[in-house]
Chain A
Amino acid sequence: MALSDLLTLTPSGLYCPEADAHIDPVRPVPRALITHGHSDHARAGHGAVLATPETLAIMALRYGENFCERRQPIAYGETVRLASITASFHPAGHVLGSAQIKLAAKGGCVVISGDYKRAHDPTCAPFELLRCDAFVTEATFGLPVFRHPDAAHEVAKLIASCELFPERAHLVGAYSLGKAQRVMKLIREAGWDRPIWIHGAMEKITNFYQEQGIELGEIRKVAATDRAKLGGEIVLCPPGQLNDLWSRKFPDPVAAFASGWMRVRARARQRGVELPMVISDHVDWDELCATCVDTGASEIWVTHGAEDAIVHWCRARGIDAQPLHMIGYGDEDAETAEASA
């Protein structure tokens, strides 16, 4: 079975004609299958939305209860029939509720990865490897220079810096959904038991994580009057707030940023980051290559990121691979300011 029999690319995004459904569409469509809650994948305004209960809850938190006409929750491993297609959702290890989508037809099956990672993350279900005939993968960090180190080591750098500079506030830029909570959990695992401070824009999602039973310890929202007093403390904020008006009132702030992009010095410097923390919620190069092989797929489509390198790598190993050059998807860390609610 060829992948193009099952999936096609439309201006709204990937489309499965047989099931009459789009996957992570960038424009409103009648029926959408959503892999996870990040805003470049989960947009408001669709007719019916099929997604994990966590993803649906996150979309409601971000867009309001009326973000679509009809919600259809689907648990990991559960199947649903869409005409002749059997769809199922499986953990992608990216953020809470994130899923790979498997579409099975008579002649074979395809897996759409969404965003995924294979590294340890205590705040979401671990990636499940699915054997398939065709695999549609992201490649946000699709260059061999991207190899993510052990995240615990990166957090240890942060804590060592808090000890060396106890009078400076340590601001950690982290995307509000997923990355922030993972960093909080890692900070706890490193033995930090003081309160972790957060920017107001992270409050709703962080509360949601805690309601889902993820222990993050004492989390406090930064009030305007607190800022001057937070020397030596760890404060998480959306990346766009790191070097903006909001950060000024902190005592001599250290700008840290938790992102896979921090692997490359020029990227960190461009953003004025002083303490880069290479922590990513995407697969790195080695994991990407391994996954392409492990799925057993004979055909690979690369949706977004650095497509060319992984396409070259697959072809050199006799795996048929195509870049899709889809637009509208990016790494969430690239997003600048969020509303400072």
Chain B
Amino acid sequence: MKYFLKKAGFMAFTVFAVCALTFFLMNVIPGGTAELILKHTLIGLEESATEEQLIQFSSRYNLDDPLYLQFFSWVKEAVLRGDMGTSYVYKKPVIYLLALRLPATVQLAGASMALAIVVGVSLGIYSALQENRISDHILRIITLFGVSMPGFWVALILILIFSLKLKLVPVSGYGNLENMLLPAAALSLHSIASIMRVTRTSMLETLGQEYIRFAKAKGLPVWKIISRHALKNAMLPVITVIGFQTGSLLGGAVVIEKIFAWPGIGGLLVDSISARDLPVVQGCVLAIVTMYLLVHFLVDMLYTHLDPRIRYG
């Protein structure tokens, strides 16, 4: 219990630190916030804003206050009333925008993660069992490509092949399973390769352990040795990597969503950064950080479940 409190406190602190960092970094970017927002909303990008418009806009959103005051009033509102502010561009509460966009991102990231785990782990096991045979070598070469190719490039290639040439799936869109195929594939490729590599290594190490030999000596069938004796032991490093991959997946989702016009928070975040829509950026970062921390918390819990020697005190 004490551990959970400690962990929760630590997570809260991390969230706070990330929000603070985002806030101040956003204000370090050159170009006045008020001017950029005005250009994006009222007057168009080519026009320049008048002095009067700038003053009016700044005073409406307290943009002339010192930064720390702006930040603390944002934190106060967020913590006390759950109000993360109002978008400068959309004129809607940030909570509402997130609620609109978050499900799509969770869907895409979740599908990619599931794909990465299922494919990565099973190919990793297969590769380990086929150690140094042809199929193992081929798989290892493919994973080398998988970890080396950037996701956005893979996405473009996939669109080129499967949408434009073969016309199997639509280029973009949202709602159907077939819309999800390409973005999920592009997003998960890197994770599949990473998970597969670590599964193979970890599995090979486990298979060389004495308790595997003893399990063979007991006369157990191969599938039981793999599933009962090897897998649980080999999974510890794998779920660590899965935890880290969630981070890169959420980060990757920002770009991939933009490419496939996926209506998630990734697209929202990119647009908001260029429009200097600060409250929305804060909200998106907050959502991503929270998801990441929750996955890591889950991974920690899984450790104790997998290995009885691990105890948190």
- Do A and B actually bind? no
